[in-house]
Chains A and B, each alone.
Chain A
Amino acid sequence: MRIADLAARTRRQLSAWLLAMALAPAAFAAGVDPDLLAALAGDDSQARLEAVARLGQQAEPAAADVLEALNEDRLYATADGRVLIDTGGGGARDAASGQELAAMPGDASSVTINNRLRRAIGAALAGSRLFSPDPAVRLAAAQRLSGGADAALLPTLEKALADERHPAVRQALQVAAAKLQLQSDDPQVRRRAAQLLGETRDAAFRPVLAAMLAQDGQGAYAEPDAGVREAAQAALRAIDRHLATIEWSGNLFYGISLGSVLLLAALGLAITFGLMGVINMAHGELLMIGAYATYVVQGLFRAWAPAWLDWYVIAALPVAFVATALVGMALERTVIRWLYGRPLETLLATWGISLILMQAVRSLFGAQNVEVSNPAWMSGGLSVLGGGLVLTYNRLAIIVFALLVVFFVWLLLNHTRLGLFVRAITQNRRMADCVGVPTGRVDMLAFGLGSGIAGLAGVALSQLGNVGPDLGRGYLVDSFMVVVLGGVGQLAGTVVAALGLGGVNKFLEPYAGAVMAKIAILVLIVLFVQKRPQGLFAPRGRSVE
Chain B
Amino acid sequence: MNRTLNATLGAPPAAALPALARRPLFSPRAWLALAAACALLALLPLLNLAFAPGHALHVSSYAVALLGKFMCYALAALALDLVWGYAGILSLGHGLFFALGGYAHGMYLMRAIGRDGVYQSDLPDFMVFLNWKEYPWYWAFTEHFWYAALLVVLVPGVLAFVFGYFAFRSRIKGVYFSIITQALTFAAMLLFFRNDTGFGGNNGFTDFKRILGFPITAPGTRAALYWLTLAALGGFLVLARAVTQSKLGRVLTAVRDAENRVRFLGYEPLGFKLFVWTLSAVMCGVAGALYVPQVGIINPGEMSPENSIEMVIWVATGGRGTLVGPIIGAGAVNGLKTWFTSVFPEFWLYALGLIFVLVTLFLPQGIVGLARRLYARFAEGGR
- B92 proximity list for chain A (CB < 8 A): 347
| Nearest chain A residue, comparing its CB with the CB of B170 | A530
- Tally inter-chain residue pairs, CB-CB below 8 A: 117
Question: Is A344 touching B175 in the complex (CB atoms < 8 A)?
Answer: yes
CB within 8 Å of A: which B76-127 residues = 90, 92
Q: Is B324 an interface residue (CB 8 A)?
A: no
- Contact of B313 (CB < 8 Å), options: A348, A522, A529: A348
Question: Is A515 touching B183 in the complex (CB atoms < 8 A)?
Answer: no
Q: Is A153 an interface residue (CB 8 A)?
A: no
- Contact of A533 (CB < 8 Å), options: B170, B191, B361: B170
- A417 proximity list for chain B (CB < 8 A): none
* Given A359-B353, A515-B190, A523-B187, CB of A484 within 8 Å of CB of B316: no
Against B, the Cβ 8 Å flags (1 = close, 0 = not) of A469-490 are 0000000110011001000000
Mark the stretch among B7-15, B344-352, B373-381 that contacts chain A.
B344-352
Against A, the Cβ 8 Å flags (1 = close, 0 = not) of B269-289 are 000000000000000000000
Against A, the Cβ 8 Å flags (1 = close, 0 = not) of B158-184 are 000000001101111011101110111
Question: Is B360 touching A345 in the complex (CB atoms < 8 A)?
Answer: yes
CB within 8 Å of A: which B171-220 residues = 171-172, 174-176, 178-180, 182-184, 186-187, 190-191, 193-194
CB within 8 Å of B: which A317-347 residues = 335, 338-339, 343-347
> Within the assembled complex, what's the spacing in Å between the Cα atoms of A483 and B196?
31
* Given A355-B352, A477-B182, A529-B180, CB of A522 within 8 Å of CB of B360: no
- B305 proximity list for chain A (CB < 8 A): 476-477
Say how far B380's CB is from chain A's closest CB, in angstroms.
27
- A347 proximity list for chain B (CB < 8 A): 90, 92, 175, 178
Q: Is A363 an interface residue (CB 8 A)?
A: yes
Against B, the Cβ 8 Å flags (1 = close, 0 = not) of A508-545 are 00000001101100110110011101000000000011
> Within the assembled complex, what's the spacing in Å between the Cα atoms of A360 and B187?
29
Q: Is B46 an interface residue (CB 8 A)?
A: no
- B179 proximity list for chain A (CB < 8 A): 279, 480, 484
| Nearest chain A residue, comparing its CB with the CB of B166 | A530
- A382 proximity list for chain B (CB < 8 A): none
Question: Is A526 touching B170 in the complex (CB atoms < 8 A)?
Answer: no
CB within 8 Å of A: which B307-331 residues = 309, 312-313, 316
Q: Is B130 an interface residue (CB 8 A)?
A: no
Say how far B349's CB is from chain A's closest CB, in angstroms.
4
Question: Is B353 touching A481 in the complex (CB atoms < 8 A)?
Answer: no
- B341 proximity list for chain A (CB < 8 A): none
- B183 proximity list for chain A (CB < 8 A): 477, 480-481, 484, 522, 525-526
- Contact of A515 (CB < 8 Å), options: B182, B193, B361: B193
- A352 proximity list for chain B (CB < 8 A): 313, 352-357, 360
- A480 proximity list for chain B (CB < 8 A): 179, 182-183
- A349 proximity list for chain B (CB < 8 A): 356-357, 360-361
- B346 proximity list for chain A (CB < 8 A): 359, 363
> Within the assembled complex, what's the spacing in Å between the Cα atoms of A518 and B183?
11
- Contact of B172 (CB < 8 Å), options: A277, A345, A481, A533: A533
Question: Is B190 touching A355 in the complex (CB atoms < 8 A)?
Answer: no
Q: Is B364 an interface residue (CB 8 A)?
A: yes
Q: Is B260 an interface residue (CB 8 A)?
A: yes
| Nearest chain B residue, comparing its CB with the CB of A356 | B353
| Nearest chain A residue, comparing its CB with the CB of B355 | A352
- B170 proximity list for chain A (CB < 8 A): 529-531, 533
Say how far A480's CB is from chain B's closest CB, in angstroms.
5
- B357 proximity list for chain A (CB < 8 A): 335, 349, 352-353, 356
Question: Is B353 touching A353 in the complex (CB atoms < 8 A)?
Answer: yes
| Nearest chain B residue, comparing its CB with the CB of A346 | B360
Q: Is A463 an interface residue (CB 8 A)?
A: no
Q: Is A354 an interface residue (CB 8 A)?
A: yes
Question: Is A344 touching B353 in the complex (CB atoms < 8 A)?
Answer: no
Say how far A314's CB is from chain B's closest CB, in angstroms.
34
Q: Is A288 an interface residue (CB 8 A)?
A: no
In this complex, which of B190, B260, B313 has the most chain A Cβ atoms within 10 angstroms of its Cβ? B190
- B182 proximity list for chain A (CB < 8 A): 477, 480
| Nearest chain B residue, comparing its CB with the CB of A476 | B305
> Within the assembled complex, what's the spacing in Å between the Cα atoms of A544 and B261?
11
> Within the assembled complex, what's the spacing in Å between the Cα atoms of A330 and B166?
39
> Within the assembled complex, what's the spacing in Å between the Cα atoms of A523 and B179?
13
> Within the assembled complex, what's the spacing in Å between the Cα atoms of A526 and B180?
6
> Within the assembled complex, what's the spacing in Å between the Cα atoms of A281 and B171?
24
Q: Is A254 an interface residue (CB 8 A)?
A: no
- B312 proximity list for chain A (CB < 8 A): 348
> Within the assembled complex, what's the spacing in Å between the Cα atoms of A335 and B353?
13
> Within the assembled complex, what's the spacing in Å between the Cα atoms of A359 and B356?
15
* Given A279-B175, A355-B349, A356-B354, CB of A526 within 8 Å of CB of B184: yes
- Contact of B171 (CB < 8 Å), options: A339, A519, A533: A533
Question: Is A344 touching B176 in the complex (CB atoms < 8 A)?
Answer: no
- Contact of B180 (CB < 8 Å), options: A343, A358, A484, A518: A484
Question: Is B352 touching A529 in the complex (CB atoms < 8 A)?
Answer: no
- A351 proximity list for chain B (CB < 8 A): 309, 356
> Within the assembled complex, what's the spacing in Å between the Cα atoms of A30 and B358?
81
Say how far A346's CB is from chain B's closest CB, in angstroms.
8
> Within the assembled complex, what's the spacing in Å between the Cα atoms of A481 and B183?
8
> Within the assembled complex, what's the spacing in Å between the Cα atoms of A360 and B349?
9
Question: Is B175 touching A348 in the complex (CB atoms < 8 A)?
Answer: no
Against B, the Cβ 8 Å flags (1 = close, 0 = not) of A417-460 are 00000000000000000000000000000000000000000000
- B171 proximity list for chain A (CB < 8 A): 533
Against A, the Cβ 8 Å flags (1 = close, 0 = not) of B358-375 are 011100100000000000
| Nearest chain A residue, comparing its CB with the CB of B346 | A363
Question: Is A343 touching B194 in the complex (CB atoms < 8 A)?
Answer: no
- A354 proximity list for chain B (CB < 8 A): 353
- B359 proximity list for chain A (CB < 8 A): 348
| Nearest chain B residue, comparing its CB with the CB of A544 | B260
Question: Is A343 touching B350 in the complex (CB atoms < 8 A)?
Answer: no
- Contact of A355 (CB < 8 Å), options: B175, B178, B193, B356: B356
Question: Is B187 touching A519 in the complex (CB atoms < 8 A)?
Answer: yes
> Within the assembled complex, what's the spacing in Å between the Cα atoms of A519 and B187?
5
| Nearest chain A residue, comparing its CB with the CB of B191 | A519
CB within 8 Å of B: which A41-57 residues = none
Say how far B319's CB is from chain A's closest CB, in angstroms.
14
Question: Is A348 touching B316 in the complex (CB atoms < 8 A)?
Answer: yes
Say how far A78's CB is from chain B's closest CB, in angstroms.
50
> Within the assembled complex, what's the spacing in Å between the Cα atoms of A335 and B179?
21
**Can you name 22 A-B residue pairings with CB atoms under 8 Å?**
A279-B179, A345-B364, A347-B90, A347-B178, A348-B359, A349-B357, A351-B356, A352-B313, A352-B353, A352-B354, A355-B353, A355-B356, A356-B354, A480-B179, A480-B183, A484-B176, A522-B183, A525-B180, A526-B187, A529-B176, A530-B167, A530-B169
- Shortest beta-carbon contacts, A-B, top 4: A352-B356, A355-B353, A356-B353, A522-B187
A279-B179, A344-B175, A529-B170 given; 16 more Cβ-contact pairs under 8 Å: A279-B175, A335-B357, A345-B360, A346-B360, A354-B353, A355-B353, A477-B182, A477-B186, A480-B179, A515-B193, A516-B194, A519-B190, A522-B190, A525-B180, A526-B180, A529-B180
A residues adjacent to B (C-beta < 8 A): 277, 279, 281, 335, 338-339, 343-349, 351-356, 358-360, 363, 476-477, 480-481, 484, 515-516, 518-519, 522-523, 525-526, 529-531, 533, 544-545
